[in-house]
Each structure stands twice: as structure tokens, then as C-alpha cells.
Amino acid sequence: MSTDSTRQRGQALVEALAALIVLVPLAVLIVLLGKFQSMQQATIAASRSFAFECTVRTEQCEPYAVAVLADELRRRHFGRIDREILSEDRITDPAPDDERHALWSDAGGQPLLENFADVGAATSRQRFDAGGSVAIGRAAVADPVSLLGIAAGPARFGLEIEGGMIDARVQVDVSPSRKGNENLARLDSLPLTMRARTVVLTDAWNASTPYGGLPHTVEQRVGRGSRLDGVRETAISLGYQLTLWAIDLMSLIGLEPAAGGFEPYALDVDRIPADRIGP
């Protein structure tokens, strides 16, 4: 009886060891794949930020001037995730460990993103010819005269056919020094290249500057969208007067010292909070 029990315990031990031989490498690979997935998501988010920055900072999205935006992308999307978003914030190599993403390291503690310079960004302008495509497609099945009434194209929105779309691309080289491990000879890391691409309509349809009297500035567009007709604005002001008096009273008695700084209808389209300017 004891021989059978010993035999069963020995068999269970062998089965457990066999399972561990399979499960431990699998667990390591699952964790590593999760880290790669996190880096891929960061690459996609960086390409989206890059593209939408180009809608308001068109001069910095030209192929010869993307270095500033590329530096901002490296800090914002590939550095430590708990850092505030600051203007003119940069990160340089070799970056200290406390500025790196805490998750992105292999089993040996080596960073998967070895250098922040391994994050590259590029832009190009694409032709936007949707109107021409619609016209050509409909010309084959409809009366060409009716095309005059279609007017389908970017010009209706102030967009140009040539260069009316920004193609923003981000590429990340993961563990480039680990070449030769493509067949997983070691369970630490893989040399990978992650890419993401976002294309947006941009430039002429968007405001080019924050201030000014021209109709395409942010100030004028926000102003037009925030104003009502004279009668309704007057009625709202009269109805809000009691609230304004209450705010002034709180300022006078010291209940809310900053109440006097409240300016209804005043807006600053380019104001950045003081704690976001730096470092």
C-alpha cells in the first residue's frame, strides 16, 4: 500500500514538473506580450496626438520641422505615465530610470525602449480628391450636366486638394540590440518595430492663429459661436444680474476673495494654466 502511495506521489510530482516546464515559459511570454501590446497602444496614441497637433501647428508639421513635435511625443507617450503634460518639455538620452515607463522592461530588468531616439515621427501631405472621385464615378452613370449641382469636394470646406490631408506616422524600435532572438532563443525580449499611422484633414479649414480680427482666427470663431442676438443676450444678462451681485458681495465680505476675478463672457483662447508652463 505504501509502495502504491509512493508511486502516486512520484507520478504527481513528475506531472507537476512537466506542467511547470510548459506553463512557466507560457506565463513569461504572456507577460511580455502584454508589455508589447502596451507599447503598441502608446504608438497608436502618439500617432493620433501627432496628427491632431498638426491641425493647429501646421508650420511645425512640415517634414523639415517635426523635431519639436517628435520630442513632445516621446515625453508625453513614451516616458513615465504619471508626469504632467507641460509645454516645451523634452527628454534626452540617456534618460534616467525614473523617467521611463515602469512597465516596459524585460525579465532581466532591461528597458524595452532602449533609447528615446528609437521613437521616430514623420509627416507628409496627401492629395484629397474626394470631389474628383465622386464626379468621375457619377459621370459614368449620370448626366454630366447634373455634376454642376453636386459640388462635392474639399473646396466647400476651405480645404485644398493638394496637401489637404496630413499623414502622421510614428515608428518605435523595440529592443533593437536583441537582433538574433527572433526565434525566442531567450525568454527576455524580441527585436520588433511598431508602427502607427493617422491621417486627418487639416490646415485651411482650421484656424491658423489664436488672436486677431480675421474671420479664420480662433478668437473670431469662438466669439461667433458664443454670441447670441442682441435681444437674447440682454435678457440673459438681466436674468444673471442677481448672481453677479451675489458674487460681488462674497468678494466684499471676504467669503470668496477671488470672486472679483470672475469675468462672464470673457475668454482667452490661448491661455495656459501657470502650473502647465515649464519646466
Please list, in sequence order, all residues whose beta carbon lies within 8 angstroms of the beta carbon of residue 53, skipping any fewer than 6 positions away. Answer: 60, 61, 69, 72
pLDDT at 81 over 70: yes
Please list, in sequence order, all residues whose beta carbon lies within 8 angstroms of the beta carbon of residue 231, skipping any fewer than 6 positions away. Answer: none
The residue-averaged pLDDT of 149-155 equals 46
95 pLDDT band (50/70/90 cuts)? confident
pTM confidence score: 0.60
Find how far residue 278's CA is from the centre of its chain: 20
The residue-averaged pLDDT of 205-211 equals 61
SS3 169: strand
Cell numbers standing for residue 13: 510530482
Rounded Cα distance between 42 and 95, Å, is: 18
Structural contact between residues 201 and 180, judged by C-beta atoms closer than 8 angstroms:
no
Helix axes 2-53, 67-78, angle to 10 degrees: 150
Structural contact between residues 94 and 110, judged by C-beta atoms closer than 8 angstroms:
no
pLDDT at 160 over 50: yes
So what's the pLDDT on residue 171?
A: 96
pLDDT at 227 over 60: yes
Q: Which of 181, 166, 89 shows the shortest CA–CA distance to 99?
A: 89
**What do you get for the CA distance between the two ends of the chain, in Å?**
76
User: What is the DSSP code string of 61-108?
Assistant: GSTTS-HHHHHHHHHHHHB-TTS---TT----SSPPGGGB-SS-B-TT
The residue-averaged pLDDT of 183-195 equals 77
Between residues 21 and 150, the one the model is more confident about: 21
Helix axes 230-239, 241-252, angle to 10 degrees: 40
Rounded Cα distance between 156 and 205, Å, is: 10
The residue-averaged pLDDT of 89-102 equals 84
158 pLDDT band (50/70/90 cuts)? very low
Rounded Cα distance between 34 and 265, Å, is: 48
pLDDT at 221 over 50: yes
118 pLDDT band (50/70/90 cuts)? very high
Strands 119-126 and 165-174: antiparallel
So what's the pLDDT on residue 129?
A: 60
pLDDT at 217 over 70: yes
pLDDT at 198 over 50: yes
Structural contact between residues 227 and 77, judged by C-beta atoms closer than 8 angstroms:
no
The residue-averaged pLDDT of 145-156 equals 45
Residue 95's CB is within 10 A of a number of other CB atoms, namely: 18
Question: In which element (H, E) is residue 201 found?
Answer: strand 192-201
So what's the pLDDT on residue 219?
A: 73
- CA–CA distances in Å: residue 169 to residues 70, 101, 126: 10, 21, 13
